[in-house]
């Protein structure tokens, strides 16, 4: 007979065995759950603990000038990062000191997350070396791409700049961001069981560099234009200015620059208002630089000829309640004289005679009142009212450049029509876009040549643009002096724009140059303010392009500087075959040149030559001085 005690013991054993069996069963179920049902999920969690992935920006494609010279490129630069949870708290102070930031700021960065965090991006190599020398656990150095613009402020307004994440924020960098950006990379870093990062890592997806873009810009001419503009603005204590240089045959923009400049390599030090490209965003009343197109419209009508006489009312003419004035009181002038003497009254009479619509059509075909087609963001279409809104006063005012607003680029495009035998070509800044748009005829070649001849007379000693002519070249151009409109109506007292627009050489135009100076202080006249800047650009750029000065006889340097031959007829010119220009040469080439000829060399700057004195080296003798200015 089994006692109660034995029964109790047996039941306890059975209970324990049951619990053990149930536990084994649950472990089996859990094992199946972990090994089969949750295997993928747990594997992913383990991988996330072992690996960390982060995106790296790809190098942007370079921006090149027409000769392949770099205008913008991406350079490798160190950045500092950390796995936040690995950085010892007692090392934060010395790490912050090496980074040049406060302890509080660094602590805030590290507290944001426990994983990967940027400490400082795109830092100087000296800072990176200083930080890495501390050997702080969890701190690592990464390589990023920083955008660099070699010409700095010379191309700042045009090229724009790139943010720290590699995205274009202004200018061409923004407009063509998709093509330039490339494809970002994905890098993976491995960590040990305690979460410490291991030195090895690999690319999940390597970054792919962006596409290169080639511009029609010529870096040498851009430097020449910028230097001349900067000097001219400073000499006049002006508010600012813009220059556009175009090749009239195909519309290639060789230079486009503004002042004051800003350096895109340190764009954060400037105000957003300093970033805009004034050559395409800012409009101005062109003043007398519009008169050639009034003359062209009058000639195109058939009612006027270059020798047609017009009475200029002795300097004052009333239209309705408005009085038009000329700076110089004139009586009878022919059409050529109207342009040479820049008569507002003569221009107004021609416009009133032919009517508003023919004048409007001429301006519209020349490119005024619409965007130029370059594709640059922020470009203004200008202001040209429809002819239905032109009364007699408006027609007269527009004839001499008031009541209409244009950009420097539009004015360059219009003068290219005159330089290109009456044919309009769409301006282009991108090499692969040249010739994409069919040219259109604006005026007959006969009229274009007649107006060109008048504009050449306008730069003679008797014209308003005589200071625009470099020695040994013939220029066709027009000065402009325009009072600035007041935003509240009317015109601002004492505020003017001084303009010169023209092209050279007259017999085979290679350059159209527009110079605009905003609010000059020493003089308000385009002939005294903008024309000398035109001359400085032309006398440097033309020899650089291989277009030598031409004279009827040789003379000394003083005669050259005094420009004694600038009004000489083209037929009487004689080429100086041994004249040599150094424009575009490197420092080494210049030194070699001077050494061969035994010249004393004075050099300013570095890079390639943008200016030289004297402008022709053929007359220099052994031991004489050659002075050159270079710019990278």
157 pLDDT exceeds 50? yes
Based on the fold, state whether residues 136 and 184 are members of the same structural domain. Answer: yes
Classify residue 549: in a domain, yes or no: yes
Based on the fold, state whether residues 567 and 600 are members of the same structural domain. Answer: no
CB 506 within 8 A of CB 515: no
Q: For the purposes of burial, counting CB atoms within 10 Å of the CB of 346, is it exposed (0-12), middle (13-18) or buried (19 or more)?
A: buried
Q: Which residues contact 154 (CB under 8 A, 6 or more apart)?
A: 222, 223, 226, 257, 261, 631
**What's the rounded mean pLDDT across residues 211-228?**
93
192 vs 357: which has the higher pLDDT: 357
Based on the fold, state whether residues 561 and 586 are members of the same structural domain. Answer: no
Classify residue 345: in a domain, yes or no: yes
pLDDT-derived band at 40 (thresholds 50, 70, 90) equals: low
Given 193, 214, 235, which residue is the final one in a domain? 214
Q: Single out the residue of 238, 229, 301 nearest to residue 258, CA to CA.
A: 229
CATH number of the domain residue 590 falls in? 3.30.10.20
Based on the fold, state whether residues 207 and 254 are members of the same structural domain. Answer: no
Based on the fold, state whether residues 341 and 485 are members of the same structural domain. Answer: yes
Based on the fold, state whether residues 312 and 359 are members of the same structural domain. Answer: yes
**Known catalytic residue at 579:** no
pLDDT for res 39: 66
25-34, 219-228, 285-294, 550-559: least confident range: 550-559
Residue 153 to residues 259, 425, 429: CA-CA distances in angstroms?
Answer: 9, 29, 18
Per the structure block, which two tokens stand in for 486? 């007041």
> Torsion-angle region of residue 182: left (phi > 0), alpha (psi -120 to 50) or beta?
left
Residues 59-95 have pLDDT tens digits of: 889 999 999 999 999 888 888 888 777 788 888 888 8
405 pLDDT exceeds 80? yes
574 pLDDT exceeds 50? no
Residue position matching structure tokens 């200083």 = 130
Classify residue 31: in a domain, yes or no: no
Based on the fold, state whether residues 188 and 241 are members of the same structural domain. Answer: no
Classify residue 173: in a domain, yes or no: yes
> Torsion-angle region of residue 605: left (phi > 0), alpha (psi -120 to 50) or beta?
left
Classified as helix, coil or strand, 438 is coil
pLDDT-derived band at 557 (thresholds 50, 70, 90) equals: very low
Question: pTM for the whole thing?
Answer: 0.76
412 pLDDT exceeds 90? yes
Mean pLDDT of all residues in the chain?
83
Residues 293-349 have pLDDT tens digits of: 999 999 999 999 998 999 999 889 999 888 999 888 888 999 998 998 889 999 999
CA 119 to chain centre: 33
Based on the fold, state whether residues 316 and 458 are members of the same structural domain. Answer: yes
C-alpha–C-alpha distance, residues 568 and 383, integer Å: 39
- Beta-strand relationship, 213-214 and 63-64: parallel
C-alpha–C-alpha distance, residues 229 and 529, integer Å: 11
Cis-peptide into 505, omega within 30 deg? yes
Classified as helix, coil or strand, 70 is strand
pLDDT-derived band at 631 (thresholds 50, 70, 90) equals: low
pLDDT for res 573: 31
Per the structure block, which two tokens stand in for 396? 């007269």
**What's the rounded mean pLDDT across residues 46-56?**
63
Q: Single out the residue of 228, 223, 142, 212 nearest to residue 176, CA to CA.
A: 212
Q: How many residues does the chain have?
A: 632
SS3 sequence of 243-264: EEEEECCCCEEEEEEEECCCCH
Q: Which residues contact 73 (CB under 8 A, 6 or more apart)?
A: 62, 63, 147, 148, 150
Classify residue 2: in a domain, yes or no: no
Q: Which residues contact 122 (CB under 8 A, 6 or more apart)?
A: 77, 78, 79, 144, 146, 164
Residues 168-213 have pLDDT tens digits of: 888 899 988 889 987 877 776 665 554 455 555 667 777 788 899 9
553 pLDDT exceeds 70? no
Note down the domain range covering 475: 219-577
**What's the rounded mean pLDDT across residues 451-464?**
89
9-13, 33-37, 64-68, 497-501: least confident range: 33-37
CB 372 within 8 A of CB 243: no
C-alpha–C-alpha distance, residues 294 and 308, integer Å: 14
Residue position matching structure tokens 């010169």 = 500
Given 577, 592, 612, which residue is the final one in a domain? 577
The secondary structure element, H or E, covering residue 179 is helix 177-181
Based on the fold, state whether residues 629 and 559 are members of the same structural domain. Answer: no
Based on the fold, state whether residues 621 and 558 are members of the same structural domain. Answer: no
271 vs 465: which has the higher pLDDT: 465
Classify residue 3: in a domain, yes or no: no
CATH number of the domain residue 197 falls in? 3.90.1310.10
pLDDT for res 554: 39
State whether the Cα torsion 424-429-432-433 is positive or negative.
Answer: negative
C-alpha–C-alpha distance, residues 452 and 476, integer Å: 6
pLDDT-derived band at 518 (thresholds 50, 70, 90) equals: very high
Q: Single out the residue of 195, 184, 186 nearest to residue 51, CA to CA.
A: 195
49 pLDDT exceeds 60? no
Q: Which residues contact 553 (CB under 8 A, 6 or more apart)?
A: 574
Based on the fold, state whether residues 207 and 230 are members of the same structural domain. Answer: no
Classify residue 597: in a domain, yes or no: yes
483 has which bridge partners?
496
Cα Rg, the chain, nearest whole Å? 36
Per the structure block, which two tokens stand in for 302? 């058939």
CB 440 within 8 A of CB 455: no
Residue position matching structure tokens 């038009």 = 324
Q: Single out the residue of 568, 565, 561, 514 nearest to residue 537, CA to CA.
A: 514
576 pLDDT exceeds 50? no
Classify residue 34: in a domain, yes or no: no
Number of domains in the chain: 3
CATH number of the domain residue 518 falls in? 3.40.710.10
Given 577, 600, 622, which residue is the final one in a domain? 577
pLDDT for res 569: 32
Letter string b/e over residues 161-180, b meaning 16 or more CB atoms within 10 A of that residue's CB: bbeeebebebbbbbbbbeeb
606 pLDDT exceeds 70? no
Which of 288, 342, 343, 372 is catalytic? The answer is: 288
- N-terminal to C-terminal alpha carbon distance within the chain: 114
Classified as helix, coil or strand, 300 is helix
∠ at Cα 138 (133, 144), nearest 5°?
75
Based on the fold, state whether residues 181 and 73 are members of the same structural domain. Answer: yes
């Amino acid at each position: 007979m089994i006692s109660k005690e034995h029964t109790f013991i047996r039941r306890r054993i059975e209970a324990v065995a049951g619990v053990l069996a149930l536990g084994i069963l649950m472990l089996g179920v859990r094992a199946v759950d972990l090994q089969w049902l949750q295997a993928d999920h747990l594997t992913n969690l383990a991988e996330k603990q072992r690996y960390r992935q982060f995106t790296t920006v790809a190098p942007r494609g370079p921006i090149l000038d027409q000769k392949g010279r770099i205008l913008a490129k991406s350079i490798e630069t160190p950045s500092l990062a950390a796995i936040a949870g690995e950085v010892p708290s007692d090392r934060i102070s010395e790490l912050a000191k090496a980074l040049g930031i406060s302890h509080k700021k660094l602590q805030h960065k590290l507290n944001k997350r426990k994983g990967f965090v940027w400490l400082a991006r795109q830092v100087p190599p000296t800072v990176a070396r200083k930080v890495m020398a501390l050997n702080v656990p969890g701190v690592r150095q990464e390589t990023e791409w920083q955008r660099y613009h070699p010409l700095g402020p010379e191309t700042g307004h045009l090229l724009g700049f790139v943010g720290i994440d590699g995205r274009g924020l202004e200018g061409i960098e923004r407009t063509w961001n998709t093509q330039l950006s490339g494809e970002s990379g994905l890098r993976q870093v491995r960590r040990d069981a305690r979460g410490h990062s291991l030195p090895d890592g690999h690319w999940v997806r390597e970054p792919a560099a962006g596409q290169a873009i080639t511009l029609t810009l010529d870096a040498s001419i851009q430097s020449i234009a910028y230097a001349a503009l900067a000097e001219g603005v400073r000499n006049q204590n002006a508010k600012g200015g813009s220059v556009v240089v175009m090749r009239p045959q195909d519309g290639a923009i060789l230079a486009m620059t503004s002042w004051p400049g800003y350096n895109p390599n340190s764009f954060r030090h400037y105000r957003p208002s300093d970033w805009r490209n004034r050559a395409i965003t800012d409009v101005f009343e062109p003043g007398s630089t519009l008169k050639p197109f009034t003359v062209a419209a009058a000639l195109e009508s058939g009612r006027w000829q270059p020798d047609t006489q017009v009475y200029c009312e002795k300097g004052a003419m009333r239209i309705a309640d408005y009085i038009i004035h000329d700076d110089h009181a004139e009586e009878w002038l022919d059409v050529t004289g109207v342009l040479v003497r820049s008569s507002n009254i003569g221009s107004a009479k021609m416009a009133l005679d032919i009517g508003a619509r023919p004048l409007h059509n001429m301006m519209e075909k020349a490119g005024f009142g619409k965007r130029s087609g370059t594709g640059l963001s922020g470009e203004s279409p200008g202001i040209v009212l429809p002819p239905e809104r032109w009364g007699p006063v408006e027609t007269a005012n527009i004839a001499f450049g008031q009541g209409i607003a244009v950009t420097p680029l539009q004015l360059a495009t219009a003068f290219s029509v005159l330089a290109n035998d009456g044919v309009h070509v769409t301006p282009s800044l991108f090499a692969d876009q040249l010739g994409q748009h069919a040219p259109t005829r604006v005026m007959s070649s006969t009229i274009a040549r007649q107006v060109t001849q008048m504009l050449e007379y306008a730069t003679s000693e008797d014209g308003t643009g005589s200071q625009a002519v470099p020695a040994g070249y013939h220029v066709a151009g027009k000065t402009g002096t325009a009072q600035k409109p007041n935003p509240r109506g009317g015109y601002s007292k004492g505020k003017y724009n001084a303009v010169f627009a023209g092209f050279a050489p007259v017999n085979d135009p290679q350059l159209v140059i527009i110079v605009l100076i905003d609010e000059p202080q020493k003089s308000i006249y385009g002939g005294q303010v903008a024309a000398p800047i035109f001359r400085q650009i032309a006398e440097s750029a033309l020899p650089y392009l291989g277009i030598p000065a031409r004279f009827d006889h040789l003379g000394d340097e003083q005669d050259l500087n005094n420009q004694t031959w600038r009004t000489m007829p083209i037929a009487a010119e004689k080429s100086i075959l041994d004249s040599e220009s150094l424009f575009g040469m490197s420092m080494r080439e210049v030194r070699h040149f001077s050494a061969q000829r035994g010249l004393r060399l004075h050099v300013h700057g570095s890079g390639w030559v943008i200016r030289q004195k004297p402008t022709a080296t053929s007359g220099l003798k052994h031991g004489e001085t050659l002075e050159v200015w270079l710019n990278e």
